[in-house]
Amino acid sequence: MDLKFTIRDLSLASEGQRKIDWVIPRMQVLNSIRNEFEKQLPFAGKKVVICLHLEAKTAYLAQVIKAGGAEVTVVASNPLSTQDDVVAALVQSGIGAHAWYNATEEEYSSHLQLALDTEPDFIIDDGGDLVSTIHTTRPELLQKVKGGAEETTTGVLRLHSMARDGVLKFPMVAVNDAQCKYLFDNRYGTGQSVWDGIMRTTNLVVAGKTAVVAGYGWCGKGVALRAKGLGARVIICEINPIKANEALMDGFEVMPMVEAAKHGDFFITVTGNMNVINKEHFIVMKSGAIMCNAGHFDIEVNVAQLKEISVSERTARTNITEYTLPNGQNLYVLADGRLVNLAAGDGHPAEVMDMTFALQALSLEYIALNYEELEPKVYQVNTEIDEKVAMLKLQSLGLSIDKLTEEQAAYLGSWSSEA
Ligand SMILES: NC(=O)c1ccc[n+]([C@@H]2O[C@H](COP(=O)([O-])OP(=O)(O)OC[C@H]3O[C@@H](n4cnc5c(N)ncnc54)[C@H](O)[C@@H]3O)[C@@H](O)[C@H]2O)c1
């Protein structure tokens, strides 16, 4: 294979490989899948493009897909989450890569195009940029791409709207919607890594402060739960009355953002929606308030509007921008409003991503084995794959669970009142 790469510095490879080596023993489910892939080679002779946040755990997923016989190329799903040393290590291990930290918009798009020049058979996407780029700019590839898997809530929503409009041209598995994904990655992964990102970036105390979390979906629940554990007073902002009631019964305060804006020390948006914190909120915030986003795109905190109403801005600390309003109040935005846990941290813990990436690997295998029978639509991860990942995870932890007896199975499967 003629290995192609566009990266910052290949000499960083040994540091990157050290990071990958740290996660491998902590991703036991993925390790057992790698062992299966090495024997069965489900992707033999096929090309795979992987578009994810490029750090150690995703790098290991790329290596596992390669172990399954694929020719793999990686590209970034976010310009600020790429770790240049990890990407160098991937190239060193025979994986094509087009990505570097802090790529400009033009560089980011050109990297996607370079990855697509490999003419992939299968893809893994995170947020939908790769799928959308293929459909809008590379129609000649629509025949070649046989399908793929999508990582996150926002990407799955985009896929559903493409399918609804009849434009999606190949099958995609919604990995995000598997129980082994959102119950653990979105909730506990985001919960922990968002606070890790905030704390390592600001080096400030959380206990006794007020944290405002916008969005009480799977990610928001995790962020709120960890904020509570850290000793914060937690306020939830929602647009969905059912989620708002859930937040209330989980023990949190609920109010609209315009009210919460007056109280918050930390603001975390995690809605997948745009312009959740705007000018009307900035102007009533306390001086010193810190805002960040954990939703997929950097559109939740309206940073453009904050710039407009500020008299000055400066870098207060790495990954912290200070905005001064005309009244002298200072407001802070972490990582320019990009995913704080990835742009200002290392992302989710390896043990959590073990389950997500096991789902990715098995979903891609499912596509590779079945694409001839599949239609161009969004597929759910099948229950056997979800349960296999859960069982492998328990086994990797040395745990086992009870089994239904025949009598119990018959009882649960019968409708009559006589057992
Ligand atoms: N940071 C990460 O590592 C990470 C991990 C997984 C998912 N994500 C991303 O996080 C976002 C949320 O994912 P999720 O799985 O929690 O989604 P979800 O659909 O479960 O929850 C989103 C919640 O936001 C609420 N919401 C929408 N607009 C709102 C608004 N204007 N104000 C307040 N609440 C609003 C919705 O009612 C919903 O309850 C998505 O963009 C997803 O791709 C990020």
- What would the mean pLDDT of 298-315 be, rounded to a whole number? 98
Residue 176 Cα to ligand 1 midpoint, Å, equals 12
Q: Give 29-38 pLDDT, tens digit per residue.
A: 999 999 999 9
Residue 419 is predicted with a pLDDT of 53
Query: Does residue 356 have a pLDDT over 90?
Result: yes
Residue 80 is predicted with a pLDDT of 87
Ligand 1 pocket (Cβ < 6 Å) reads 152-154, 182, 186, 190, 214-220, 237-240, 243, 270-273, 276, 294-296, 339, 341
Ligand 1 pocket test target in 54, 58, 153 with most atoms within 8 Å of CB:
153
Ligand 1 pocket test target in 296, 297, 341 with most atoms within 8 Å of CB:
296
Residue 271 Cα to ligand 1 midpoint, Å, equals 3
Residue 349 Cα to ligand 1 midpoint, Å, equals 19
- What would the mean pLDDT of 176-183 be, rounded to a whole number? 97
Residue 416 is predicted with a pLDDT of 80
pLDDT band for position 1 (50/70/90)? Answer: low
Q: Which two tokens stand for residue 205?
A: 């105390």
Asked if 84 and 7 count as a contact pair (C-beta separation under 8 A), the reply is yes
Residue with CA nearest ligand 1 atom 42: 153
Q: Give 203-233 pLDDT, tens digit per residue.
A: 999 999 999 999 999 999 999 999 999 999 9
Q: Give 73-82 pLDDT, tens digit per residue.
A: 999 999 888 9
Atom of ligand 1 nearest to the CA of 272: 41
Query: Does residue 48 have a pLDDT over 70?
Result: yes
* Residue in the structure block whose two tokens are 């082994």: 180
Mean pLDDT, the chain, rounded, equals: 96
Classified as helix, coil or strand, 323 is strand
Compute CA distances 356 → 17, 351, 393, whole Å: 21, 9, 11
Q: Which amino acid is at 227?
A: A
Residue 311 is predicted with a pLDDT of 98
Residue 123 Cα to ligand 1 midpoint, Å, equals 24
Residue 184 Cα to ligand 1 midpoint, Å, equals 15
Residue 154 Cα to ligand 1 midpoint, Å, equals 8
Q: Report the alpha-carbon distance of residue 220 to residue 294 in Å, rounded.
A: 9
Ligand 1 pocket test target in 57, 181, 186, 293 with most atoms within 8 Å of CB:
186
Q: Report the alpha-carbon distance of residue 155 to residue 360 in Å, rounded.
A: 14
Q: Report the alpha-carbon distance of residue 280 to residue 297 in Å, rounded.
A: 21
Residue 253 Cα to ligand 1 midpoint, Å, equals 18
Q: Report the alpha-carbon distance of residue 110 to residue 116 in Å, rounded.
A: 10
Q: Which amino acid is at 205?
A: V
Atom of ligand 1 nearest to the CA of 220: 16
Strand 253-254's sheet: what is its strand order?
A: 253-254, 233-237, 210-214, 266-269, 290-293, 330-334, 320-324, 312-317
pLDDT band for position 418 (50/70/90)? Answer: low
Atom of ligand 1 nearest to the CA of 339: 1
Residue 294 Cα to ligand 1 midpoint, Å, equals 8
Ligand 1 pocket test target in 252, 270, 359 with most atoms within 8 Å of CB:
270
- What would the mean pLDDT of 288-309 be, rounded to a whole number? 97
Residue 400 Cα to ligand 1 midpoint, Å, equals 33
- What would the mean pLDDT of 69-75 be, rounded to a whole number? 98
pLDDT band for position 401 (50/70/90)? Answer: very high
Q: Report the alpha-carbon distance of residue 327 to residue 323 in Å, rounded.
A: 11
- What would the mean pLDDT of 47-62 be, rounded to a whole number? 97
Asked if 58 and 29 count as a contact pair (C-beta separation under 8 A), the reply is no
Asked if 57 and 353 count as a contact pair (C-beta separation under 8 A), the reply is yes
